[in-house]
Chain A
């Protein structure tokens, strides 16, 4: 009998410059059995995306060097399998509109309920095998 080989899921990249927020997001996802890596700015995020080829990026649109929106332009999501959930604060209608046109899959608002993040990621990536 052949045992199906499961593909090891690449880590979720969290691009967030607030140290505590990034850690809380990572811990919420790790509690659901997801692996994560954290980028503190746009350059680091690009390096991690190239290294891990992730399925999902959690991106703070207010990120620095380059900004979250600039990073989205670089990634050219329309022709990529990478999906992006943009981290926003209440409001930001302008940024949301630009991010939508650049191919963002969804938005996640901070402050957040830890369980909600897991739900949204499951919607995008499907359930996680433990």
Chain B
């Protein structure tokens, strides 16, 4: 009692001060209690997260050798792993593995996910009222694959009220890659074209990987126009769909410069030696980004056709060399990178530009030479050029303006 009296003694004279003091003490206590609760929660959730991580990694190490074995062995070990590491960890490892694998192995992982009850759990969760839970369940089912999962994905891609769920369902259907799944994914996509270009690009990339013919058909039937057609063509180029080459060739002289650039990029990725003259012609296009795309395309072509560009070699080096003097930085940089892939002749052109007075061409040439495959003598030559450049002062000290001195004083 004497303690509490002593504590409030300074405030005894004023009731208001006493109320404030009590308020401060109550608030401080509340803050302390809440901090303690948050701290404990953080410690516990962190421990849980770490334990889950360890279980996941343990299950991955335990299961990986059996995933690539046969289905019977995998099922046996998956049951053992569930007892050791828990259902969630085992399901996650198998779902992720299915994403990384192809063919029979991927199918057997799918069967095992069905047999250990993962698909049943996700089928229950997909009926949830919560959107995030439904979307997660649909993504999980997409990872599991198999007839039961696909039936639910077909339904969700068409009828689910949430865009996120429909999108996840479409991605799952494309992963399945059976014709009816792909058709359903396309129908769902065309019905509600996603707003964001990134989502559309992602769909085209998946479709090109699952069935490039279907995507090509969409383009031919003019169901994708304008910027969509370009996104689809980029996806076909990335997926290595050679059936798109003819279409790209027909768009090389399109009035739409962006479409010309897209077609040039596609040819760079997929074209053969026969297409080099068309690529070279685009190096002289009126638009800088088409010229830049052509220079880049020639670099890609050189890296996949290797040393077999001999027929057009000289012309290619001449035009790329002219590209080093282009007014656009992108064209200069890409032309230099292209030259670095043109063997000795290309390297010689780069060295000549590196030693010349044109600063813009020199910078692009030296940047490309730094990445090129050079002999010991060429490396020495490059070092000498760089050393010489270091000796050239950028600003004449006589002309330096005193108040621009970095130390703030007079120079």
A binds B: yes
Residues of A within 8 A of B (CB): 18-21, 23-24, 26-28, 30-31, 78, 90-94, 96-98, 100-103, 110-114
Stretch at the interface among B19-27, B96-104, B214-222: B96-104
Given contacts A24-B97, A112-B102, are A93 and B68 in contact (CB under 8 A)? no
Q: Measured between alpha carbons, how far is A19 from B68 in the docked complex, in Å?
A: 16
Chain A residues with CB under 8 A of B103: 113
Say yes or no for B238: interface residue by CB 8 A criterion.
yes
Chain B residues with CB under 8 A of A97: 299-300, 303, 341
Q: Measured between alpha carbons, how far is A111 from B61 in the docked complex, in Å?
A: 19
Q: Which residue of A lies closest to B340 (CB)?
A: A101
Residues of B within 8 A of A (CB): 56-57, 60-61, 64-65, 67-69, 93, 96-97, 99-103, 105-106, 205, 208-209, 237-240, 268-269, 299-300, 303-304, 340-341, 371-373
Given contacts A20-B100, A101-B341, A111-B99, are A93 and B238 in contact (CB under 8 A)? yes
A100 and B303 contacting across the interface, CB-CB below 8 Å? yes
Q: Measured between alpha carbons, how far is A110 from B57 in the docked complex, in Å?
A: 20
B239 and A90 contacting across the interface, CB-CB below 8 Å? yes
Q: How many whole Å from B387's CB to the nearest CB in chain A?
A: 21
Q: How many whole Å from A18's CB to the nearest CB in chain B?
A: 8
A93 and B64 contacting across the interface, CB-CB below 8 Å? no
Given contacts A91-B239, A113-B103, are A19 and B57 in contact (CB under 8 A)? yes
**8 residue pairs from A and B, CB less than 8 Å apart:** A20-B60, A24-B68, A28-B68, A98-B371, A101-B373, A110-B100, A111-B106, A112-B100
Chain A residues with CB under 8 A of B100: 18, 20-21, 24, 110-112
B97 and A114 contacting across the interface, CB-CB below 8 Å? no
Chain A residues with CB under 8 A of B106: 111
Q: Measured between alpha carbons, how far is A20 from B371 in the docked complex, in Å?
A: 33
B65 and A27 contacting across the interface, CB-CB below 8 Å? yes
